[in-house]
Amino acid sequence: MTTNNTLNLAVGGMSCASCSSTVEKALLKVQGVTQATVNLATEKAQIDFAAPATPEQIARAVVDAGYEAEILNASGEKSSASSTPAREGFGEGALVAIAALLTLPLVLPMVALPFGEHWMLPGWMQLLLATPVQFWLGGRFYRAGLKAVQNRTGNMDLLVAIGTSAAYGLSVYMMEQGSGHLYFEASSAVITLVMLGKWLEGRAKRQTTAAIAALQALRPDTARVRRKGVDQTIAMAEVQLNDEVVVRPGERIPVDGLVLEGSSHVDEALITGESEPVVKAVGSKVTGGAVNLDGLLLVQTSAVGTETTLARIIRLVEDAQAAKPDIQKLVDKVSAVFVPVVLVIALFTLLGWGLLGGSPGVGGNPWEQAILNAVAVLVIACPCALGLATPTAIMAGTGVAARHGILIKDAQALELAHSIKTVVFDKTGTLTVGKPTLMQFEAVHGERSSMLAKAAAVEAGSMHPLASAVKNRAQQDELEVPHATDLQDVAGKGLSAKVGDARVYVGTIRWMEELGVSAPTMQEVLARVNANAATRSWVAEKTDAGIRLLGVLAFGDELKPSAQSAVNALHALKVDTVLLTGDTTASAQRVASELGIGHVMAEQLPGDKSKAVQALHNSKEGGKQVVAMVGDGINDAPALAMADVSFAMSTGTDVAMHTADVTLMRSDPSLVAQTIDISRRTYNKIKQNLFWAFIYNAVGIPLAALGYLNPVLAGMAMALSSVSVVTNALMLRNWKPRGGA
């Protein structure tokens, strides 16, 4: 049987969307590669492959296409078996500074011209300054452009190489002809401005990955492990499952695990988005990367390496940033033909100005102006802005969402979430705490405390959730609970035990009827019970006089503190809400009534839930509406899979989290509305970026072709276009959840 594998590569040398498309095509040509996604913004490739392909062959395909490839390990770090070593030499900023120093003397005369200063450097000095800029600092454009030609594609580097070569060559020709009208400043300024733009773009792109970097920084390098009673500090790679790890106050917790000894406040803000420290005591789960604030903890390791919560969070965010939404696939198709179209426009510009005359050049030759206008067309064209418009917004959006406890698994979910029209909530564990509490207890003869104490005595040996609720309430009321003996568990009915001189029964109304308890008495007590208490247990005792009813225990599942604000926030976003649960109709109606949810579907089996979501999906007249499902249990998995966008609570089951598109790191339903909000803002940024990227080209290229832009201004506009797109995306980092969460 063929085994599918996933490989991540760091790809160097890409300059625009055409480059990422070229790398994808090269990867897909490797036999065994089934899918390849290349992200220009992260400069990474994610490849699904099977035999006969190997990681080394896949990396070699990228190198053969003219780019750099480095194999990344499971943690996203560069492998020692990297195909291509990292480049050494001058830093990018230093190269930009050198280019600027060489170009400045060439540009100064042009800057001084409006102030009445007419001077120019000798031709030989201009040649001396421009040549290293053109061929040393601009050599990267020639190398990348040549590879593009060899791959029968085009990219930004090819446009820059052709355009600046034309301006440089024209200047050399004019100098040989003895003309004083040279254009070395145009070729050098374009190269310098493009280099500056790429440097600024790189700095901005690194800020879009700040969320990943912050998460990676949470991983300690070492752990203090207690073995055979001795504490020793070892590397994280050596920590094993079930190891006992000592965590001192102020240290980061290095592993996922359970607290064996101690108690402390733990700061989980960067993992769950929870701003307040969480109390951890014996039996509590802790997450690697969280900060232990004020107590000494002994933690038994339950997960290490790539299986830890933090590692899975990083992996989810990286996968989301690597994936391409549908809108990016459309942009890629445009980018694939962009460079050839620009080359054709530049050729027509050259021929049009040269053959048809137009305004003659400064030296009286129309071909001079024709070449300069064609150069302006080549250098103002900006395929990189198109390529960066979507991924930078996706990176910024998923990153800021992760910081606030929202893990979006793929870009498709982020893109789709902005158009959600209906959110379907499960009840238990999603809108409610998922843990029954004793809401009310009523005694027949007014002996409430005595009745509760006897019930707690019977329930003392049971692990049932309702029994825990009774015991917790007795402890909360500081009742003295008597000792019970001869405990009997009657399946489907309840428990009985000897308490003092009487046998006490705690169970269902049907059992009470079988025992001969008076029905009118039960109805009289029931009239005093709040209708919101959905589940009831009856308490009776057998004495010498017979069976007598002591009272009733009424249980309910409390709403989560944020449930009301969660529903209100969705309604404010014009999103409908639906309650879908397997619980009784009465229990569901109570919750829906309290929260203002108008549509309720109760007593639903897992298969029924899936059909209900499908019906809602198709309920819109004339089309389909986007439906989201929020759940946390195994029984929610079919409905989560059927929904367009699915949300799972991290406190729920692994099945639900693996099925869902979005994992909410806090058991907080208000994060659903916040996800929709960040999705809408991200989608708006994508549209803004694409608009400006197209406007730059749609307006700039015709202006250059018509002679309204010189090459220097065109180069400046091209450099600014990609920088402005990335900067606009970075504004998403200032997003904060509504409500101040």
- Of the residues 319, 426, 632, 677, only one is catalytic, namely 426
Distance CA 223, CA 236 (A): 6
Distance CA 473, CA 554 (A): 12
Q: Provide the sign of the torsion angle of the four alpha carbons 447, 450, 456, 459, taken in this order.
A: negative
| Contact between 120 and 180 (Cβ < 8 Å) | yes
How remote is the C-alpha of 688 from its chain's centroid?
20
Task: Tell me the β-bridge partners of 122.
Answer: none
The token duo for 306 is 């790539």
* DSSP three-state, residue 264: strand
Cα distances from 76 to residues 70, 207, 393, in angstroms, run: 11, 17, 21
| Contact between 356 and 660 (Cβ < 8 Å) | no
Over 274-326, what HEC string results?
Answer: CCCCEEECCCCEECCCCEECCCCEEEEEEECHHHCHHHHHHHHHHHHHHCCCH
How remote is the C-alpha of 362 from its chain's centroid?
55
Cα-based torsion angle of the residue sequence 95, 100, 101, 105 in order, rounded to the nearest 10 degrees: 150
Distance CA 411, CA 324 (A): 6
Distance CA 543, CA 500 (A): 11
Q: What angle do CA 409, 411, 415 make, to 5 degrees?
A: 120
Cα distances from 416 to residues 421, 643, 731, in angstroms, run: 11, 11, 21
- Eight-class DSSP state of 252: B
372 contact partners, CB below 8 Å, separation of at least 6: 167, 170, 183, 186, 361, 710, 711
Cα distances from 399 to residues 212, 524, 672, in angstroms, run: 7, 58, 16
Cis, peptide link before residue 277, omega less than 30° from 0 = no
Backbone angles phi, psi at 353, to 5 degrees: -70, -35
Candidates 590, 525, 526, 505; CA nearest to 556 is 590
Beta-strand runs (E) in 390-492: 406-408, 420-425, 432-443, 484-490
Backbone angles phi, psi at 280, to 5 degrees: -120, 135
Distance CA 646, CA 539 (A): 43
| Contact between 169 and 85 (Cβ < 8 Å) | no
Active site residue 632: no
Q: Residue length, the chain?
A: 741
Biggest CA-to-CA distance, the chain: 128
Among all chains, which residue has been given the structure tokens 């050098």?
A: 188
146 contact partners, CB below 8 Å, separation of at least 6: 66
Would you name the residues annotated as active-site residues? Answer: 426
